[in-house]
Amino acid sequence: MPSSCDLLLHAACVVTQNTERATIENGTLAIDKGVIVALGPRPDIAPLWQGARELDLGNMLVLPGLVNAHTHAAMTFLRGLADDLPLMDWLAEHIFPVEQHLTPEIVEWSSLLGYAEMLRTGATACMDMYIIEEAVFRAADTAGLRCCGGEAVFAFPSASGPTPEHALELTRELAQRYRGHPRISVAVNPHSVYTTTPEILGRCRDLAEECGLPLHIHLAETASETAQCLARRGKRPLPYCRDLGLLTPNTTLAHAVDLTDEELDILAESGATPVHNPSSNMKLASGVARIPEMLRRNIPVGLGTDGAASNNRLNMFTEMGRAALLHKLSGNDPTTLPAALVLDMATLGGAAALHRPGLGSLTVGGPADLTALDLSAPNLQPLYAPVSHLVYAATGMEVGLTMVEGEILYHDGVFTRFDYSALCAAMRDVRDWVRRKAERG
DSSP 245: T
Name the average pLDDT for the chain. 96
User: Under DSSP, is residue 439 helix (H, G, I), strand (E, B) or coil?
Assistant: helix
Kindly report the CATH number assigned to the domain that includes residue 376. 2.30.40.10
Note whether 23 and 115 are same-domain residues.
no
Query: Among 353, 381, 402, where does a domain finish?
Result: 353
Q: What is the DSSP letter of 297?
A: T
Beta carbons within 8 Å of 400's beta carbon, 6+ residues apart: 57, 60, 372, 373, 374, 411, 412
Helices (H), strands (E): how many in the chain?
A: 17, 19
* Mean pLDDT, rounded, for 130-141: 98
Q: Has residue 399 been placed in a domain?
A: yes
The answer to whether residue 78 is domain-embedded is: yes
pLDDT band at 288 (very low <50, low <70, confident <90, very high): very high
- Residue 420: inside a domain: no
Query: Do 140 and 203 fall within a single domain?
Result: yes
Kindly report the CATH number assigned to the domain that includes residue 77.
3.20.20.140
Reference 149, options 170, 126, 169; nearest CA is 126
Q: Give the tens place of pLDDT for each residue, 67-85.
A: 999 999 999 999 998 888 8
Nearest residue to 371 via CA among 382, 383, 360, 381: 360
Residues 32-56, mean pLDDT to the nearest whole number = 98
Supply the pLDDT for residue 24: 98
Check whether residue 403 and residue 376 sit in a common domain: yes
Angle value at C-alpha 264, between 245 and 340, nearest 5 degrees: 115
pLDDT at 441: 55
Query: Using 50, 70 and 90 to split pLDDT, how confident is the model at 89?
Result: confident
Residues 346 and 377 in one domain: no
334 and 387 inside one domain: no
pLDDT, one tens digit per residue, over 238-283 is 999 999 999 999 999 999 999 999 999 999 999 999 999 999 999 9
Asked, for residue 424, whether it belongs to a domain, the answer is: no
pLDDT of residue 116: 98
Asked if residue 440 has pLDDT above 80, the reply is no
Is 425 within the bounds of a domain?
no
pLDDT tens for 357-410 read 999 999 999 999 999 999 999 999 999 999 999 999 999 999 999 999 999 999
Does residue 203 form part of some domain? yes
Residue 99: per-residue pLDDT: 87
Type of residue at 202? G
The answer to whether residues 394 and 324 belong to one domain is: no
Task: Name the residue range of residue 297's domain.
Answer: 66-353
Asked if 25 and 89 sit in the same domain, the reply is: no
Distance CA 121, CA 317 (A): 7
Average pLDDT over residues 293-306: 98
- Check whether residue 272 and residue 347 sit in a common domain: yes
- Answer yes or no: is 220 within a domain: yes
Residues 137 and 238 in one domain: yes
Residue at which a domain ends, from 301, 325, 353: 353
Identify whether residues 47 and 89 lie together within a single domain.
no
Q: Look at residue 75 and tell me if it is in a domain.
A: yes
Number of domains in the chain: 2
Question: Same structural domain for residues 126 and 94?
Answer: yes
137 and 36 share a domain? no
Residue 402: per-residue pLDDT: 99
